[in-house]
Amino acid sequence: MAQLTMREALNQALKEEMTRDPNVFILGEEVGAYQGAYKITQGLLAQFGEWRVRDTPIAEEAMMMTFNFSLLALDMIVNHAAKYRYMSGGQIRCPMVMRGPSGAATQVAAQHSQGFESWYAHIPGLVVVMPSTPKDAKGLLKSAIRDDNPVIFMENEILYNLKGEVPEEEFHIPLGLGDIKRAGKDVTLVAWSRSVITSLAAAKTLADEGVEAEVVDPRTLRPLDEDIIFESVRKTGRCVVVEEGWRYAGFGSEIADRVQRECFDSLDAPVLRVTAADVPMPYAKTLEKAYLPQPERIVEAAHQVLYRS
Amino acid sequence: MTVSKVVLAKLSPTMEEGTIVKWTKKEGDAVKQGDVLAEIETDKANMEMEALGSGVLRKILVPAGGKAPIGALIGVIAESNEDIEPLIAKEGAKAGSAPKPAAAAPAAGASSPAPEPAKAAAEATAKAAPADQPASVASAAQTPPVPAAPRSVATPPAAPASASAGTGGDGGRVKASPLARSMAAHQNIDLSSVAGSGPGGRIIKRDIESWAGPRPGADAPARSAGAPASRPSAAPASRPAPPAPSITPGQELPLSNMRKTIAKRLSESMFTSPHYYVTVEIDMDAAVDLRDQIQRLEEGKVSFNDLVVKACARALTRFPLVNASWGGDKIVTHAEVNVGIAVAIPDGLITPVVRNADRKSILDIAHEVRDLATRARDKKLKPEEFTGSTFTISNLGMFDVEEFTAIINPPDSAILAVGAVRKVPVVDGETIRPGHRMKVTMSSDHRVIDGALSAQFLAEVRRLLEAPVGLLLG
């Protein structure tokens, strides 16, 4: 297996799918001549030409660089892309992937640090993908491109340089299939995207105390692999959901809801959530740290559901 | 909702009723959720009861000195302008905290001074004769009337009705995690007899796991004190002053809640589990040396009993069957080694528990035992501090008792009775020299532990105490 960054893995996925299917093309701000604002589309213009890799103007009703600015396009996404297939009785498909960074980076403050996965996951007709490793990113992007539904593919800027093993042979990861990122028997941590990395750090601390945390990564929020979560919670009896979005009506509450209903008799403690603070992201570094879920807060929540003080 | 009922909480696993020792808030005091409202004497200890709501303590229904069953309404917290009379009339009577009017049979556990609502109930009963449920009757006396007749009439007007009202099933709702609940249902454990160690007394998985008390059929909750034991602060009574009688002979003494529990629990243990006894003598020369050395350090005091606790804890990890409970149709071996220490207190005894004693250092154990014993004597132990033992130690060494036998503290399967460390002539080769010896006697439940196992376990305890430096390691 090759060691790749998530950036390279995503680039490979695009390249392979564009090679496989001449109908695949890319539209976006700075995707061509600039090689991508985050260099995900590096080399694609040279390889596939300007008809298939097209630079667009900054017109965020239609295009965006990060999901922070996708809100202008919400009407197109929610009222059109997500509904065509349904409203046309399946006659019109919308095989489109909207990909880009989402969530906080480093000190880019209130307007540039938002995670809108909960907004998109709310909409029937959309697929929402949030990979946490290079392998997942590649395998899931390939599936997203092949899928006939509009897919919201949310990457995390901090993870672009994250390295990991990626199979060299052709592979893809089905949408709607979760993954156990770390096996454990004492407490279930459900996390996606960058929160997986934070949760793995917390799990390491917990392991030093003799607590084996299981880190479950659903990878796609819609459709959601709830079975992998239920199976884990039934084993551990305890569940902490970690997300970088806001707590209020955040996606973690969807998971907490399903867990309390389906795993009620297995729960030894209430489902807890570790989330971003319920405020706009502050600019100050220390406040940014306090705003985002940190391993310590996850450890604390795990202690709470384990009744350890 | 601004009205919050103050209901007598189940503050100990075996508690059925409680005595209000004192109210720490007066009527009219502002109260915040979590404030200590009252001190309650349970069958085991004096416990603090906290307010579950905020507002003003509007009414105290059972004054200090009064008794009430679990779930009984003993007070009301509400905003100062809230009308609380209907609630008092309704719930106060249901609580059964007052003797019932003539129409009803004598209520169980209703010996408290009569609060006013009882009068209302009495009057109401007089008007609405055949009804037997004071609750409904009391509400009928209020406006708007609650149509209570069908339910009341359906129940025969006999003693059980009052009794069930008195013990108030719904008021003493058992809090348990769903997992604990399903585990208990699976194993046929009555949740009301399990002590909860989670927040607010919530019963959680570990409480069920460490529970191995009697299954249905034996109705006594099996957690409490063990054998005759003592831990006075006095030095060895080598020349004790003649004791002065502490009570006047020739009188009938009412039973305290604790005395009742001791009587019930230890009789049950002695008469259901087949006890037998194995005694060994332990060479304590090295332990005496070690203890002297530790005493010279500034870290603190360590008693022989602390060494015994540590040695037993370690030996228990090597003999899981001794760290076990009889479960009716199975034997339950415990994952944790929780050593109970019998502590004499003025009106009985209690067995605080050193949890995970196998994983604690001798100094930690020494410190914890002293703290638990002090608070035991002050009746300040929390339920989770005197429940959940898996093995118990009772020590009468401070009375210069050479050896004795103890009654097993259920749900444990064994108890170790520890005598004094005594200087005795020992045969050493062809000579006789003075040496330190200590006798310990283990009472074992033969359903779980056979004689040879007891002997092997005691041999390990002896081995550990005779080379006690090992106890300092790990």
Q: What ipTM was assigned to the predicted interfaces of this complex? A: 0.76
Picking from B177, B181, B358 by the largest number of A CB atoms within 10 A of its own CB, the best residue to mutate is: B177
B278 shares a domain with B200: no
Closest residue of chain A to B201, computed from CA coordinates: A307
CB contact under 8 A, A269 and B198: yes
B145 shares a domain with B25: yes
B230 shares a domain with B187: no
**B chain contacts of residue A266, beta-carbon cutoff 8 Å:** 178-179, 182
Q: CATH number for the domain including B91?
A: 2.40.50.100
**A chain contacts of residue B206, beta-carbon cutoff 8 Å:** 307
Most confidently modeled of A33-37, B45-49, B449-453, B468-472? B449-453
User: Is the pLDDT confidence value at B287 over 80?
Assistant: yes
Domain boundary among B188, B209, B230: B209
What's the CA gap between B282 and B463, in Å, rounded? 8
CB contact under 8 A, A264 and B178: yes
B381 shares a domain with B318: yes
Mean pLDDT (whole number) for B457-466: 96
The token pair that represents A115 in the structure block: 């995670």
Q: CATH number for the domain including B180?
A: 4.10.320.10
Is the residue at B78 inside a domain? yes
Closest residue of chain A to B205, computed from CA coordinates: A268
What's the CA gap between B405 and B451, in Å, rounded? 16
From A80, A112, A172, A303, active-site residue = A112
Per-residue pLDDT tens digits for B65-77: 888 888 788 888 8
Is the residue at B110 inside a domain? yes
What's the CA gap between B162 and B421, in Å, rounded? 55
Per-residue pLDDT tens digits for B141-184: 333 333 333 333 333 333 333 333 333 333 457 889 999 988 88
CB contact under 8 A, B204 and A266: no
Is the residue at B214 inside a domain? no
CATH 3.40.50.970 range(s) for chain A read 2-166
B256 shares a domain with B185: no
Picking from A307, A308, A309 by the largest number of B CB atoms within 10 A of its own CB, the best residue to mutate is: A307
CB contact under 8 A, B180 and A268: yes
Q: Other C-beta atoms within 10 Å of A220: how many?
A: 28
CB contact under 8 A, B177 and A269: yes
**B chain contacts of residue A265, beta-carbon cutoff 8 Å:** 178-179, 181-182
* In contact, B89 and B120? CB cutoff 8 Å: yes
CATH 3.40.50.920 range(s) for chain A read 179-305
Specify the pairing of strand B343-345 against strand B348-350. antiparallel
B304 shares a domain with B429: yes
- pLDDT for residue B137: 36
CB contact under 8 A, A265 and B181: yes
pLDDT beneath 50, residues of chain A: none
- Which of B182, B197, B204 shows the shortest C-beta gap to A265? B182
- pLDDT for residue A280: 95
Torsion of the alpha carbons at B440, B443, B447 and B452, rounded to the nearest 10 = 30
CATH number for A179-305 (one of 2.30.30.90, 3.40.50.920, 3.40.50.2000, 3.30.70.260): it is 3.40.50.920
- CATH 3.10.20.600 correct for A2-166: no
DSSP B192: G
Catalytic (active-site) positions of B:
446
- pLDDT for residue A188: 98
Q: Which domain holds residue B183?
A: 174-209
Closest residue of chain B to A271, computed from CA coordinates: B177
Q: How many domains does chain B have?
A: 3
User: Is the pLDDT confidence value at B364 over 80?
Assistant: yes
Residue B300: band (very low, low, confident or very high) from pLDDT cuts 50, 70, 90: low
Mean pLDDT (whole number) for B392-400: 92
B199 shares a domain with B161: no
Q: In what order do the strands lie in the sheet with B275-283?
A: B275-283, B431-445, B414-428, B391-395, B339-341, B353-354
Closest residue of chain B to A305, computed from CA coordinates: B198
- pLDDT for residue B56: 87
- pLDDT for residue B172: 58
Q: Which residues of B touch A (CB under 8 A)?
A: 177-182, 197-199, 204-206
CB contact under 8 A, B204 and A267: no
Q: A with B: how many residue pairs have Cβ under 8 Å apart?
A: 27
B430 shares a domain with B316: yes
Helix H or strand E encompassing B36: strand B36-41
Mean pLDDT (whole number) for B303-332: 94
Which alpha helices (H) appear in B194-237, and where do they start and end? 205-209
Is the residue at B305 inside a domain? yes
- The end-to-end CA distance of chain A, in Å, is 42
Picking from B181, B194, B197, B205 by the largest number of A CB atoms within 10 A of its own CB, the best residue to mutate is: B205
Is the residue at B147 inside a domain? yes
Q: Other C-beta atoms within 10 Å of A65: how many?
A: 18
- pLDDT for residue B110: 40
A294 touches chain B (CB under 8 A): no
- pLDDT for residue B152: 35
DSSP secondary structure string for all residues of B344-404? EETTEEE--EETTGGGS-HHHHHHHHHHHHHHHHTT---GGGSS--SEEEEE-GGGT----
Residue B322: band (very low, low, confident or very high) from pLDDT cuts 50, 70, 90: very high
- pLDDT for residue B64: 83
A265 touches chain B (CB under 8 A): yes
Distance from B356 to chain A by nearest Cα, in Å?
14
Closest residue of chain A to B177, computed from CA coordinates: A268
What's the CA gap between A99 and A82, in Å, rounded? 15
Per-residue pLDDT tens digits for B12-46: 767 778 888 888 888 888 888 888 888 888 877 78
B229 shares a domain with B310: yes
- pLDDT for residue B141: 37
- pLDDT for residue B30: 86
pTM of the predicted model as reported, rounded to 2 decimal places: 0.50
- Identify residue B67 by its one-letter amino acid code: K
B311 shares a domain with B180: no
B240 shares a domain with B182: no
Is the residue at B124 inside a domain? yes
Q: How many residues does chain A have?
A: 309
Distance from A218 to chain B by nearest Cα, in Å?
24
Distance from A188 to chain B by nearest Cα, in Å?
15
B271 shares a domain with B136: no
**A chain contacts of residue B180, beta-carbon cutoff 8 Å:** 268
